[in-house]
Structure 1
Amino acid sequence: MSAFARIRALAYVFAPARSLASARAFALAFALACALALAALVAVPAAWAEEGPDPSNQVNPQQLPDSSFIYDTSISELETADSYLDGQTVQVTGEVVGDRINAELDFDHCWITLEATDGSFAEVPVLTTLAATSVIDTYGAYGKRGTVLQVRGTFNLSCPDHAGLSDLHASHVSLVSKGAAVREAPDALRFVPGVLLVLAGLALVLVFRHMRESRR
């Protein structure tokens, strides 16, 4: 049985009316709908094949590497970094320690030192603007916990502008936490070495006096 004959037989079954004329009309409409659907299924893949790949989505082998990717790293990793991070945009978090030093021949910039907060005591000098340092309320020192900053900028393994110094040229500085005064309770164990040295000195004095008295 041909495909059209099968469609016509189905039309006789599902025709809305039982007359022969209505069944034929329904069969013709049903066959036309099937033909249009089949043509659409054939035409769509052919259109996709003729369209081809999007030329704007091509890989350019001549494109130079882009350093706009931000490496969220740590100060201790920068201290031991190799040439891979040289010239890359990095982001670090650290405590401001020491003092602010004005940059030579550049009155709008200054140097600050960031120390790692992971206990490694690693440091990195940061060149930033004077305006960016307005968020610093405390510079870390004995009895003071410095302001913690998040700094994003370009890392130079051997900066040609600053005598080969490994530094970070900041492009963005944000506050993480404010500094504060730190009061440490006296530790009695720190006095033990001094007390032992004093006792050892007294013992040597007594021994020396005893040896001098015995010679008389």
Structure 2
Amino acid sequence: MYEKIRRNLLRVTIFAFLIVPIKINAQESSLNNLIENGKNFDKKQIVVKGEAIGEPLSRNNYTWININDKTSAMGIYMNSEDAKKVEAYGGYNKKGDSIKVTGQFNRACKEHGGDMDIHSNKVEIIKKGETLNNIFPKYKVFISTISSIIVLVLGYIIYKKKRK
């Protein structure tokens, strides 16, 4: 009986080691965590996710893309072929592509003047960007119109009193 239990336990243990990955090569992190704990992540492979913002800056065969993950923003240095995957960049009234970047984090990159950056190995598009329809709420228009009228009326009353 005990022999049967021991064999089954050994089978389950071996099966678990085959299914569960033993080592994860790249550690997923927020940009703010990278900034605050730069020493711990320096020169290590990391994974970050964020929205592409601004516009790409191409330099020869490489391109800089800034991403924002709602905790902070950081420059990603990638080859221009990977950068072409990103089609939409966030800005006023636009949401950029959500991307997942795997690469090496550099706390003080010697190649780029000591700036903090990530040199990407892999770029994946998680979600396409979109144009936002931020219609100005009508109540705000109403409140600002009423406030302007009140200010003008009060200004006129003060002007008339000072003239007397």
Same fold (TM over 0.5): yes
Query: Equivalents in 2 of 1:198, 1:78: separation in Å?
Result: 50
Q: Give the equivalent residue in structure 1 for 2:156.
A: 205
Number of equivalences: 140
Contact 1:157–1:167 (CA under 8 A) maintained in structure 2: yes
Counting only pairs closer than 5 Å after superposition, residues 68-87 of structure 1 correspond to structure 2 as 69-87=25-43
| Paired amino acid for 2:68 | E
Unaligned runs of 5+ in 1: 1-67
| Paired amino acid for 1:133 | A
TM-superposition CA deviations, 1:78-111 (whole Å, max 9, x none): 23233111111100111101000123xxx10010
| Paired amino acid for 1:200 | V
Q: Give the equivalent residue in structure 1 for 2:120.
A: 170
Query: Equivalents in 2 of 1:126, 1:89: separation in Å?
Result: 13
Structure 1 residue 197 displacement after superposition = 5.2
Q: Give the equivalent residue in structure 2 for 1:58.
A: none
Give the 4+ runs in structure 1 shifted more than 4 A.
none
With over 3 angstroms needed to count, the CA separation of the structure-2 counterparts of 1:189 and 1:113, relative to structure 1, is: farther
Q: Give the equivalent residue in structure 1 for 2:65.
A: 112
Identity of aligned residues (%): 19
Query: Equivalents in 2 of 1:199, 1:161: separation in Å?
Result: 59
Structure 1 residue 211 displacement after superposition = 1.7
Q: Give the equivalent residue in structure 2 for 1:40.
A: none
Q: Give the equivalent residue in structure 1 for 2:14.
A: none
Contact 1:112–1:125 (CA under 8 A) maintained in structure 2: yes
Q: Secondary structure at the match of 1:137?
A: coil
Counting only pairs closer than 5 Å after superposition, residues 43-192 of structure 1 correspond to structure 2 as 69-103=25-59, 107-116=60-69, 119-120=70-71, 122-188=72-138, 190-191=140-141, 192=143
| Paired amino acid for 2:124 | S
Structure 1 residue 186 displacement after superposition = 1.8
Judging by fraction of residues, say which structure has more strand: 2
Contact 1:152–1:170 (CA under 8 A) maintained in structure 2: yes
With over 3 angstroms needed to count, the CA separation of the structure-2 counterparts of 1:81 and 1:195, relative to structure 1, is: farther
Q: Give the equivalent residue in structure 2 for 1:50.
A: none
TM-score, normalised with respect to structure 2 = 0.76
- Which of 1 and 2 has greater Rg? 1
Query: Equivalents in 1 of 2:27, 2:50: separation in Å?
Result: 15
Q: Secondary structure at the match of 1:135?
A: coil
Unaligned runs of 5+ in 2: 1-23
Query: Equivalents in 1 of 2:67, 2:136: separation in Å?
Result: 28
TM-superposition CA deviations, 1:17-72 (whole Å, max 9, x none): xxxxxxxxxxxxxxxxxxxxxxxxxxxxxxxxxxxxxxxxxxxxxxxxxxx93111
TM-superposition CA deviations, 1:149-183 (whole Å, max 9, x none): 10000111111111211111101111111111111
Let me know the Cα RMSD of the aligned residues. Answer: 2.0
TM-score, normalised with respect to structure 1 = 0.59
| Paired amino acid for 2:162 | M
TM-superposition CA deviations, 1:123-170 (whole Å, max 9, x none): 010000110012112111111110111000011111111121111110
